[in-house]
Amino acid sequence: MSKENKEKPKLKMAIYWGAACGGCCVSVLDVHEKLFDVVAAADLVFWPIALDTKYADVEAMEDGFIDVTLYNGAVRNSENEHIAKLLRQKSKILVAYGSCAHMGGIPGLGNFHNREQIFERVYHTTETTVNKEKIEPQTQVKVAEGTLTLPEFYNDVRTLDQVVDVDYYLPGCPPQTERLVEVFMAIVTGAELPPTGSVVGATEKTQCDECKRIKTDKKHIKEFKRPTEVIDDGVTCFLEQGLICMGPATRSGCGYRCIEGNSPCRGCYGPPSTSPDPGAKMMSAIATMIDSDDPDEIAKIVEQIEDPAGTFYRFSLPGSILRRKLIETHT
């Protein structure tokens, strides 16, 4: 151990995945050689993707033992919920890391269905499934050796802050690694932290505010197209080309990775604080761009937006105002 580390106790850090793809955990590894700085300043006490710490070890920790926890993933099942509550209790700072923990993310699109519908599709009707015995996951099953258990799959996907109190949000799918390093270094160096509940690692501006593509004030859209139907000229605003781009309703901070790659913004950084519902903001923005005053023509143009709910709320359905499809089943 080097000298300066002795002077300052190391931070204790945990990283956990709820209902997530694993990309957020990988984004932490994307710090590359900076990982040495991270490890020099922090002990990773719990990180299922990389370390073999058991849940029982976490349960044995004192309350507030962990300094910072990055929780990525939405809350989809009872295991996610249990660990979210456990880590809240054991952590001084709990960060909702990535789109899923922040607003529900891609797993949040499960809120267009309920458990029964998802099980029906996944275990019975998918084209590649052969399940003659109609087996579905059970929370408990008795076998000769004893009782086996599985977490309970909920009807509803929730964001992390719909389950426990969250101190900070670090949005993105996944969060830009540079932003994570900045936030981490701020914590390590003891810089003054923003007020609880802040979104960190992103700005208050929208993508459009800083997008380099050429925009004119007059956007007139007669036809909405899908990306495959347009040959992008590489310089004009996507919306002006008739492509849905979530730029007007999305926070900047990601470094415009999608737009730089000639792909419209999909909205993973979530909405800026001034317009908390991304879909409402998009509906507002698009309404000013549709070039028609005739009710029938407007209806026809709107019809071309194939899936407004799924497009505008791709990363944020559970965290939005109308947070799920109206199906009357609750867990």
Partner 1 sequence: MAFEPIIVSFLCNWCSYTGADLAGTSRIPYAPNLRTIRIMCSGRIEPTFVLKAFREGADGVLMCGCHPGDCHYHEGNYKCLRRYHLLQKYIQQLGIEKERLRLEWISASEGKQFASLANEFTETIRQLGPSKIKKVMETLT
Judged by CB under 8 A, the residue of 200, 286, 314, 315 near partner 1 is: 286
List 224's β-bridge partners, or say none: none
Residue 312 touching partner 1 (CB under 8 A): yes
* Tokens 């690692």 -> residue: 201
Residue 26 touching partner 1 (CB under 8 A): no
Residue 288 touching partner 1 (CB under 8 A): yes
Residue 306 CA, chain-centre distance (Å), reads: 23
Per CB under 8 A, the segment of 26-34, 65-73, 210-218, 321-329 that binds partner 1 is 321-329
Residue 330 touching partner 1 (CB under 8 A): yes
Q: Is 44 helix (H, G, I), strand (E, B) or coil?
A: strand
Residue 304 touching partner 1 (CB under 8 A): no
Cβ neighbourhood burial of 101 (10 Å; 0-12, 13-18, 19+):
buried
Residue 118 touching partner 1 (CB under 8 A): no
Q: How far is CA 115 from CA 72, 90, 175, in A?
A: 22, 31, 29
Residue 307 touching partner 1 (CB under 8 A): yes
Residue 283 touching partner 1 (CB under 8 A): yes
Residue 220 touching partner 1 (CB under 8 A): no
Cβ neighbourhood burial of 13 (10 Å; 0-12, 13-18, 19+):
buried
Q: What gap in Å lies between CA 98 and CA 224, rounded to an integer?
A: 30
Residue 26 CA, chain-centre distance (Å), reads: 14
Largest CA distance in the chain: 74
Q: How far apart are CB 196 and partner 1 at their closest, in Å?
A: 18
Q: How far apart are CB 212 and partner 1 at their closest, in Å?
A: 28
Which CB, 1 or 321, lies closer to partner 1? 321
Judged by CB under 8 A, the residue of 277, 314, 315, 316 near partner 1 is: 277
Q: What gap in Å lies between CA 256 and CA 90, rounded to an integer?
A: 35
Residues in contact with partner 1, counted by CB under 8 A, come to a total of 40
Q: What gap in Å lies between CA 58 and CA 53, rounded to an integer?
A: 8
Judged by CB under 8 A, the residue of 279, 314, 315, 316 near partner 1 is: 279
Residue 80 CA, chain-centre distance (Å), reads: 15
Binding marks (x or -) toward partner 1, 151..180, rule CB under 8 A?
-----x-x---xx-----------------
Reading phi first (left if > 0) and then psi (alpha if -120 to 50, else beta), residue 267 is in left
Q: What gap in Å lies between CA 321 and CA 192, rounded to an integer?
A: 32
* Tokens 């501006």 -> residue: 205
Residue 192 touching partner 1 (CB under 8 A): no
Q: How far apart are CB 318 and partner 1 at their closest, in Å?
A: 8
Which CB, 159 or 252, lies closer to partner 1? 159
Residue 287 touching partner 1 (CB under 8 A): yes
Residue 218 touching partner 1 (CB under 8 A): no
Residues 331 and 114: beta-carbon distance below 8 Å: no
Residues that bind partner 1 (CB under 8 A): 112, 156, 158, 162-163, 275-277, 279-281, 283-284, 286-288, 290, 292-293, 295, 298-299, 302-303, 305, 307-310, 312, 321-328, 330-331
